[in-house]
Amino acid sequence: MCELFAVSSSDTVEMRYDMREFARHGGQTHSNRDGWGIVYALDRDAYLYKEPAAAATSGLEKYVADHPHGTRLMIAHIRMATAGEPALCNTHPFRRVRGGTACHLAHNGSLPELAAAPPYQQFHSEAVGDTDSELALLILLNRLEQAGEKADARFDIFTHFCGEMRALGDCNFLYTEGERMFVHAHKRRYETEGVWGPPRAPGLHMRSLAPGEPGWRARGAALDGSPARAIMFASVQLDDADWVSLPEGETLLVERGEVLARSNSHAGQNQFS
């Protein structure tokens, strides 16, 4: 199954995502061999590296590992194809520019009913590839056009959109607008001794760094710097610290290392800071 990872920080840090351990999830010990991508946000733009090949054997991955970018927001994705062949146009994260800001989506899960659903047929002509994930991004961006620039309105639309997508399949989302990130936790399939089980929660885990904590090291990732605040999200817990398993259906709005809003439509809870 696909793997997601993200970091949001209050201050600029260097994310050394060399994937030497994580890349083994991308082709050496696990089944997701169909592509990988990393976004390093920088104000309204972002560096985007992606490739439709196993991260474990990638020369581009080694370049990225040896040339980290200073950033306050980074997201990464390693892919196992469930819709769309291994190709650059089908490799996450997907990018579009709206309102002068680079927007990206990385998706873990499968939405098998999305492409055939009549309400979404109009978006097929805008897609470069043929994945349900890219189609989901196009639908979300269309919804957000009605929201204006206020973060709370955009978060409400994102939360409603995620509920809409949950009815069609499994959908853990990392969606970014510049240095702002929207997170949705749902269900994912887990591999045990080479066998994939049915989707189940948790789909994402969250970990906060202690204020001023001098860097962080884990399997396949490292953070150099001492930010006042930093939050990480991952499909799998990357170290032995206390990660929080996000409840099924939880959405969060995160910016510069701080959770500004969270909602769980299943539980009927909504909170905005």
Average pLDDT over the chain, rounded to whole? Answer: 87
Distance of CA 13 to the CA centre of its chain: 19
**Cα(113)–Cα(123) distance, integer angstroms:** 14
Distances (CA, A) of 113 to 68, 133, 169: 38, 12, 7
φ, ψ dihedrals at 89, nearest 5°: -70, -15
Instruction: Determine the length of the chain.
Output: 273
Give the tens place of pLDDT for each residue, 132-191: 999 999 999 999 998 988 999 999 999 999 999 999 999 999 999 999 999 999 999 887
Query: What is the number of structural domains in the chain?
Result: 1
**Cα(182)–Cα(190) distance, integer angstroms:** 23
Q: What is the pLDDT of residue 175?
A: 98
Let me know: does 99 contact 178? Beta carbons within 8 Å. Answer: no
Q: What is the pLDDT of residue 202?
A: 96
Residue 218 structural domain: 3-272
Let me know: does 207 contact 244? Beta carbons within 8 Å. Answer: yes
Distances (CA, A) of 7 to 38, 42, 87, 97: 11, 13, 26, 21
Q: What is the pLDDT of residue 31?
A: 46
Q: Is 120 helix (H, G, I), strand (E, B) or coil?
A: helix
Distance of CA 27 to the CA centre of its chain: 19
Residue 32 confidence class, pLDDT cut points 50, 70, 90? very low
Let me know: does 24 contact 56? Beta carbons within 8 Å. Answer: yes
Let me know: does 94 contact 87? Beta carbons within 8 Å. Answer: no
CATH number at residue 36: 3.60.20.10
What is the DSSP-derived secondary structure letter of residue 200?
B
Give the tens place of pLDDT for each residue, 87-118: 899 999 999 999 999 999 999 999 999 999 99
**Cα(84)–Cα(128) distance, integer angstroms:** 11
Q: What is the pLDDT of residue 211?
A: 87
pTM for this model (two decimals) = 0.91
Beta bridge partners of 200: 188
- pLDDT for residue 34 is more than 80: no
- pLDDT for residue 235 is more than 70: yes
